[in-house]
Structures are given as C-alpha cells and as structure tokens.
Chains A and B, each alone.
Chain A
C-alpha cells in the first residue's frame, strides 16, 4: 500500500480524444510529480508541484496540461496526443520541505496507449 493512487490504470485513446489522468496521495505530502516511463529510457520527470504551485515543467509539450487543485490531488489533462506518447504515466509525492524529506513515493501508474 503506497498511499498514492492513480486512475484509470489503463487507458486507450485516439489522437483526437481528450482524457484526464488522476492522482491522489494520502500521505500528507505537499509535493507531487508526474513522470513518463518508456521502455529502455530512464524515468522522465514531466511536472512538479509544491504546495499547489508548479515549480518545474520539464519542456513538456502543451498537449499535456497538469492541474493541481490542492496538495492531495494532481491531474494530467491529455489532448491531441501522438502514438509516441504511449507510455506508463507515474504520479509521485514527497514531503515537499527539502532535504531528506524529498524521498518520492509512487502510485501504480496509468498505462496509456494512443492509437
């Protein structure tokens, strides 16, 4: 039980669809992250939020739009995606206060397939 949940677990969408991924953390953390995991590549950090404010956008295309309404919830809105966006999208959270407290805890991920 990681304390970080993600829905849906699997998603198939066409390139013209609009969908959203949801992440919720039950750990009382203040920082939340979106990562993309593709085969044979290291985890790619996409976005970081700390106390609901976006602190990092790792040159992510605008077809990915994050939203963080509060410290417990994080969304990733998807529109006009490309087949190469197919991957496992992971959400993580951390304490958010810096130093040793930045150990990140991950959700189970959403397996996305773009057709």
Chain B
C-alpha cells in the first residue's frame, strides 16, 4: 500500500540538541499529522496540520504543512531524555478516513 517517505530513519543526539525530521509524498495531502509512540504504547498525537503553509507549535515541537502539500517537517528544540521514542508522520490524501503512514523516525537522546 501507499506509504510516506519519512527521514531520517533514526537519530541519536545529545540532550539539548535540536532535532528535525520530515515526510514527503508523491501525491497531495489534505492533512498532516505527527504522532509519537513510546515502547508498549499506542501512537499519541503531537500536532495536526490542516492547511498548506500552516506552522503550528506544541511546546518545544514545531511542525509545518508544506506549501506544495506534499511534505511536512517536525522540529524538536532543546531535546530532553523523555523525547525518546518513534515519531510517525501520517496524512489524508483525500476525503476518506484512510491515513497514509510513514515508517517512523526513531529518536534516542543521550543525557
């Protein structure tokens, strides 16, 4: 099935560093969603984007809906150990409820 191209696949950073990850698609998306999943848990919604060009923040997290509607990025500033987890991008390519998912970016933070 269709999936998003999410990069990088994994990151290992020092506490305090900023992090950037992105997702691209070959088709236009109407929504972009960023989720975080920790071991043994389900994905938790971090940021939802609904309009091209939209820039939204949630604490130290900032995400943008690309103006071409084919990409999105997520930035985490001043990382802390509890940021560890897998970050997934997902989006809707039409009016149906089917979400298209990336494979995730695994983030490790060295204290």
Report yes or no: B98 in contact with A45, Cβ–Cβ below 8 A: yes
Stretch of B11-19, B64-72, B75-83, B99-107 lying at the A interface: B99-107
Is B97 at the interface (CB under 8 A from chain A)?
Answer: yes
Question: How far apart are the CA atoms of A42 and B98 in the complex, in Å?
Answer: 13
Q: Which of A42, A45, A102, A106 has the most CB of B within 10 A?
A: A42
Instruction: Give every chain A residue within 8 A of B1 (Cβ-Cβ).
Output: 42, 44
Q: Closest Cβ of chain B: how far from A107's Cβ, in Å?
A: 5
B42 in the interface, Cβ–Cβ < 8 Å? yes
A92 and B45 CA atoms in complex are apart in Å by 11
B16-42 Cβ-contact flags toward A at 8 Å (1 or 0): 000000000000000101010000111
Cβ-closest chain B residue relative to A59: B1
Residues of B within 8 A of A111 (CB): 40
**Interface pair B33/A99, CB less than 8 Å apart:** no
Q: Please tell me which one of the listed residues B48, B95, B98 contacts residue A103 in the complex, with CB atoms under 8 A apart.
A: B48
Q: Nearest chain A CB to B22's CB is how many angstroms away?
A: 16
- Whether A102 touches B41, Cβ cut-off 8 Å, given contacts A40-B103, A42-B102, is no
12 contacts between A and B (CB under 8 A): A2-B44, A9-B40, A33-B97, A43-B99, A45-B99, A48-B98, A90-B42, A94-B97, A100-B50, A103-B33, A103-B48, A104-B33
Which B residues form the contact surface with A (CB < 8 A)?
1, 3-4, 31, 33, 35, 40-45, 48, 50, 88, 90, 92, 95, 97-103
